[in-house]
Amino acid sequence: MSPDAVRKVNVIGHLNPDTDSICAAISYAYLKNQIDASETGYEARRAGTINRETAFALRHFGFDEPRLITSVAPQIKDIDVTPLQGIGLETSLQVAWNLMRDTSTGTLCVTDMDGNLEGLIAVRDIANANMDILDNFALSRARTPYQNVLDTLEGKLVVGDPHDVIRMGKLSIGTTPEMMEGNVSPGDMILVTNRYESHRFALESGAGCLIVCCGASVSTVIRNIAEERGCTIISTKLDTFAAARLITMSIPVRAKMLPEEKIEAFSINTAVDEARRVMAKTQHRVFPVLNEDGRYIGVVSSPNMLNVDKKHVILVDHAELSQTVDGIAEAEIMEIIDHHRVGTIETPGPIYYRCEPVGCTCTIIYEMFQEHGIEIPTDIAGLMMSAILSDTLCFRSPTCTPEDIEAGYALAHICGENPESYSDAMFDAGANLEGRTADEVFNSDFKIFSRGDASFGVGQGSYMTKSSRRAAEKLLEPYFETASRTKEIPIIYYMFTDIRSQSTEMLCYGPNAEGLLARAFNVTPKNGKAILPGIVSRKKQVIPALMTTLQRYQEEQA
């Protein structure tokens, strides 16, 4: 596994996260890091936008919201990226060819000094350049640096500046003055041997560069004339044939490369499946990889895709496939810590699964702190207390157990908060609708469930005052049709729970939604609404009743 592949285990709550989902992820990641001293580590992540209640708790106890994660499907960062070095724009074709030979690769990436991808050069590009023997303007058209010529021909600079470039003229061989007459134009690069007459004629004809082959000497007279006329002279031990064959290999790769805008490059965050689709549609065999800053770090090809390191995740506060992040089937689930029904998530092998019939996931995590003898910091205690107060409606919910109460007050003692006054402030923050859209409020705590081929969604908002509850109903009710369409679920229920009166006004939308609601709770809905006295818990009171009713309805229709 590459160093980049050794990353933290993601501790993730459910989609549309509530306070327990976020606080459980943070608290359990902290606990796991105390228990497990390995280099891997554990990191809390969020699977959606946090709601205002959760934001209040995080802010109150000094936490930033966890980083967003939308998928745990394998990404390019989860495979072994080949760390092939990049080459500069001015690198000669000869150097590029030698590097390809030494690294047994057919492609090199071209980058600037900062590691930004500039292009890609392949063996076929070099071969095409080498075979284009009739293009005798190739060096000047590419503005080839003289240093490249020196390196390619293993030459020695006799006259001139190695940092200068070839700006004009063609390449030709000067055998005799008679053969050069009428064929040398200003700026031309002439390959010559040891004949003084040829050297002088080429200079007097305006040559821009003399390549003196076979290690022949250059007279002082010729040097002086060259300096006066601004002509470069390079001496090489190669014979004329070899020099003529090799010199076009001094062209910089920028002149022959595939430019960056035409390259299919992958980010380390590109999904492996997406990369495979791209690879299948192109004739390219090697693809550059860019880090999160957009800098080149290596390449991948089809063989790299054969060995994928699955992402390691721990799920908290859910065990429903419909409530978890995308790509979970391609990840390795290490643990599940939950307090809901056994859901639809399947694993290929046994894992650590802890599910207890308590009111909050953080109650379970509190017990695990005690079991391992690990001290709970003040800020972590505050988050766990917030989650328990949220899920149990400050110990008023029928889901609340003695374990929740014990944990809640113990954590309140550690963080120095009064549960009653703190929960009032937290619930008020969550109920504040100022500046919020229907989509934001609706998704702040919404979960999807399924029974057989049918699926439905249940959202919930908790309110301290009747006015705040009415305002939320007015905002959300017109949005149900849009939510049903965008989430592709036919039936929607939304619980507007009054914390003080311990009751819920249930709104519903969709085919037979009223009928199912009436049968489940023995009420008579009117205009898509029903008052449910004593109903405050989605998990314990609403979902089981709806599931049972839906199952019976499906059996009747079969």
Of the pLDDT bands very low, low, confident and very high (cuts 50, 70, 90), residue 341 is: confident
Residue 201 lies in a domain: yes
Same domain, 178 and 167: yes
Q: Is 24 exposed, middle or buried (0-12, 13-18, 19+ CB in 10 A)?
A: buried
Of the pLDDT bands very low, low, confident and very high (cuts 50, 70, 90), residue 322 is: confident
Is the pLDDT confidence value at 3 over 70? no
Query: What angle (nearest 5°) sits at the alpha carbon of residue 151, between those of residues 146 and 155?
Result: 85
Sorted by sequence, the CB contacts under 8 Å of residue 492 that are 6+ apart come out as 456, 457, 458, 459, 480, 483, 484, 508, 509, 510, 513
Same domain, 401 and 371: yes
Where helices occur in 286-437 by DSSP H, the ranges are 361-372, 378-391, 402-415, 419-431
d(C-alpha 519, C-alpha 438), whole Å:
29
**Percent share of the chain, pLDDT over 90:** 78
pLDDT digits (tens, 9 = 90+) for 69-103: 999 999 999 999 999 999 999 999 999 999 999 98
CATH label of the domain that carries residue 102 = 3.10.580.10
Mean per-residue pLDDT for 333-345? Answer: 92
Sorted by sequence, the CB contacts under 8 Å of residue 260 that are 6+ apart come out as 117, 118, 119
pLDDT digits (tens, 9 = 90+) for 112-150: 999 999 999 999 999 988 887 778 899 999 999 999 999
Same domain, 298 and 372: no
Same domain, 423 and 317: yes
pLDDT digits (tens, 9 = 90+) for 383-413: 999 999 999 999 998 899 999 999 999 999 9
Residue 388 lies in a domain: yes
Residue 195 lies in a domain: yes
Of the pLDDT bands very low, low, confident and very high (cuts 50, 70, 90), residue 7 is: low
Q: Which of 235, 250, 265 finishes a domain? A: 250
Q: What is the per-residue pLDDT for 5?
A: 43
Q: Which of 204, 229, 250 finishes a domain? A: 250
Same domain, 510 and 374: no
CATH label of the domain that carries residue 161 = 3.40.1390.20
Is the pLDDT confidence value at 534 over 50? yes
Which pair of tokens denotes residue 327? Answer: 């790509």
The answer to whether the CB of 393 falls within 8 A of the CB of 499 is: yes
Nearest to 472 by CA among 490, 483, 457, 460: 460
Q: What is the per-residue pLDDT for 4?
A: 42
Nearest to 91 by CA among 83, 99, 101: 99
Residue 54 lies in a domain: yes
Same domain, 544 and 479: yes
Structural domain count of the chain? 4
Name the one residue in this structure whose structure tokens are 């590097």.
Answer: 99
Same domain, 225 and 267: no
Per-state percent for the chain, helix, strand, coil, to nearest 5: 40, 20, 35
Q: What is the per-residue pLDDT for 405?
A: 98
Same domain, 475 and 550: yes
Same domain, 476 and 552: yes
Mean per-residue pLDDT for 305-313? Answer: 90
Q: Which of 202, 234, 250 finishes a domain? A: 250
Mean per-residue pLDDT for 251-272? Answer: 93
DSSP 16: S
Most confident of 156-165, 279-288, 447-456: 156-165
d(C-alpha 140, C-alpha 345), whole Å:
65
Nearest to 71 by CA among 214, 213, 273: 273
Residue 136 lies in a domain: no
Mean per-residue pLDDT for 163-171? Answer: 94
Of the pLDDT bands very low, low, confident and very high (cuts 50, 70, 90), residue 179 is: confident
Which pair of tokens denotes residue 82? Answer: 């080949």
Mean per-residue pLDDT for 171-192? Answer: 90
Residue 137 lies in a domain: no
Residue 63 lies in a domain: yes
CATH label of the domain that carries residue 405 = 3.90.1640.10
Same domain, 530 and 542: yes
Question: Can you give the residue range of the structural domain that contains 349?
Answer: 3-74+310-429
Is the pLDDT confidence value at 420 over 70? yes
CB atoms within 10 A of CB 378: 13
Same domain, 339 and 446: no
The answer to whether the CB of 284 falls within 8 A of the CB of 266 is: no
Average pLDDT of the chain is 92
Residue 138 lies in a domain: no
Which pair of tokens denotes residue 247? Answer: 């010199």
d(C-alpha 313, C-alpha 198), whole Å:
76
Same domain, 226 and 162: yes
φ and ψ at residue 491, rounded to 5 degrees: -120, 135
Q: What is the per-residue pLDDT for 557?
A: 80
Which pair of tokens denotes residue 437? Answer: 């859209």
Half-sphere exposure of 297 (CA within 13 A, CB side): 18
CATH label of the domain that carries residue 532 = 3.10.310.20
pLDDT digits (tens, 9 = 90+) for 36-72: 877 679 999 999 999 999 999 999 999 999 999 999 9
- Tell me the three state secondary structure of residue 25: helix
Q: Output the pTM of the full model.
A: 0.69
d(C-alpha 256, C-alpha 126), whole Å:
8
Q: Which of 248-257, 264-273, 404-413, 463-472 is predicted least confidently?
A: 463-472
d(C-alpha 220, C-alpha 223), whole Å:
5
d(C-alpha 283, C-alpha 510), whole Å:
49
Q: What is the per-residue pLDDT for 69?
A: 94
Mean per-residue pLDDT for 523-551? Answer: 93
